[in-house]
Amino acid sequence: MNRAFSRKKDKTWMHTPEALSKHYIPYNAKFLGSTEVEQPKGTEVVRDAVRKLKFARHIKKSEGQKIPKVELQISIYGVKILEPKTKEVQHNCQLHRISFCADDKTDKRIFTFICKDSESNKHLCYVFDSEKCAEEITLTIGQAFDLAYRKFLESGGKDVETRKQIAGLQKRIQDLETENMELKNKVQDLESQLRTTQVSASPAGTGTPKSPSTDIFDMVPFSPVSHVTSTPARNGTQPPPVPSRATEIKRDLFGAEPFDPFTCGAGDFPPDIESKLEEMQEGFKMGLTLEGTVFCLDPLDSR
């Protein structure tokens, strides 16, 4: 995998790793809104989005509407956009879904990022107006992305393909166990039909019942309808009790329950772990691009 992020100029990160890993960094900003874009990256892509949202905000301002204030909470788990007073989460952008982040060289307040929506899978461009700290916010998102990427690798992100192979093998084992049970049932049915045929063919009226047939080891053949108190074998010992089908299904031939790596430790591995890991792998593989650019010649008057 290539480096998780790219920047045009090498800059020092703004915060300690502990601050973003154990807590979050808060920022106050004004939210111009979000709009759908065609590409996950590109200066021209975000430039057009910023112009579009600035124009829409100019119209709303002329109608007496103010730009809503929001609180940004940036951590290794994502970028949350909250209502500052109620702390209600308006948007929750996971870092592996953020592909592009940029701030305006000509207006130190404007910054934007592109994030893939979790429900529609469309790329949305979010635009904000901060208090002259656009570059710092951009770098903070970049640092959080870098830390999240490293944490993903350390927690097993490299083993996505291995987990998929294990799941495929486990599915194959389950199919073979099902097939084995079906074959056992067919054998038992054939044995029952054979005994019925032997009983029907025996002469009627004989005073003594015919002793059950034995196999080459002088043992009474296994019967699914046999009871624990069935006729003893010639060696004088009772045959072992017949295990129920439910027990056979739950345990393998060694008496142990079949291993399933995706049901054990369900708290750590949710049922859809495969799709989640694949999604995160693809997102981090795309990487995050940080840029400083010129969005628009006319700065936004948000006061």
Look up the CATH number of domain 17-155: 2.30.29.30
CB atoms within 10 A of CB 234: 12
Q: 3-state DSSP call for residue 173?
A: helix
The one-digit pLDDT tens for each residue of the chain (303 residues) are 344 455 444 456 889 999 999 899 999 999 999 999 999 999 999 999 999 999 998 898 888 899 999 999 999 999 999 999 999 999 999 999 999 999 988 878 899 999 999 889 899 999 999 988 899 999 999 999 999 988 888 876 555 556 666 666 777 888 888 888 899 888 988 888 888 887 777 665 555 555 556 655 556 565 555 444 444 555 555 555 555 544 444 554 444 454 444 343 433 444 556 677 777 878 887 888 888 766 543 444 444
The predicted pLDDT at position 264 comes to 39
Quick one: pLDDT at residue 296?
47
The CA distances from residue 303 to 26, 55, 61, 105, in Å, are 21, 15, 10, 20
DSSP-derived secondary structure for 45-72: HHHHHHHHHHHHHHHHHHTTPPPPEEEE
Output the pLDDT for position 162. Answer: 61
Q: Are strands 69-75 and 78-82 parallel, antiparallel or unpaired?
A: antiparallel
pLDDT of residue 145: 92
Closest by Cα among 285, 265, 219, 299 to 57:
299
Strand ranges in the chain using DSSP code E only, listed in sequence order: 5-7, 25-37, 69-75, 78-82, 89-93, 98-104, 110-116, 123-130, 288-293
Show me where the domains of the chain are located: 17-155, 157-195
pLDDT score, position 166: 67
